[in-house]
Amino acid sequence: MSDHGIAFPIGFTPWGTFAVAGRARKVEQAMVLVLLTYPGERAHRPEFGCRLRDFVFEPVTPDTAARLAAEVRRALEVWEERAEVLAIDVTPDEAAHGLLHIAIGYRLTGSSERRELVVPFSVLPEDKVS
């Protein structure tokens, strides 16, 4: 298995060659892809993805954060086998109402190094829901 591959989204270097990403970066790109794809969007893999969008209209509460963390864990454990999910912490941003930070603690398979990926997620603030 190669430790490098074409970066996603596809990009180019200043020299006109494809941008590449190392193993850790490729796994993080794949994790984000899982989280941003809603099940049913891919015709040939209808179960692929995560139901993050189901939480857009949810209030920012500890219960919502726990359910959101459980969905992220479920999706990553099913669809990204190159990473062992260690912990998921969902915290609201104190400065930006409706913004949550999903911190995913993980370890690459075959590695003992703990890593973290933080993915921002916005919910529609309660005062904007009609």
Output 36-43 pairs: Cβ under 8 A, ≥24 positions apart.
none
Structural domain boundaries enclosing 105: 4-128
Assigned token pair, 69: 């963390």
Task: Give the confidence band of 23 by pLDDT, cuts at 50, 70, 90.
Answer: confident
pLDDT digits (tens, 9 = 90+) for 103-113: 999 999 988 99
* Chain mean position to CA 15: 30
What CATH number is associated with residue 27? 3.10.450.40
The Cα–Cα gap between 86 and 47 comes to 23
Comparing C-alpha atoms, which of 92, 48, 50 is closest to residue 74?
50
Greatest Cα pair distance, the chain, in angstroms, is 51
pLDDT digits (tens, 9 = 90+) for 25-58: 888 989 999 999 999 999 999 999 999 999 999 9
**Domain tally for the chain?**
1
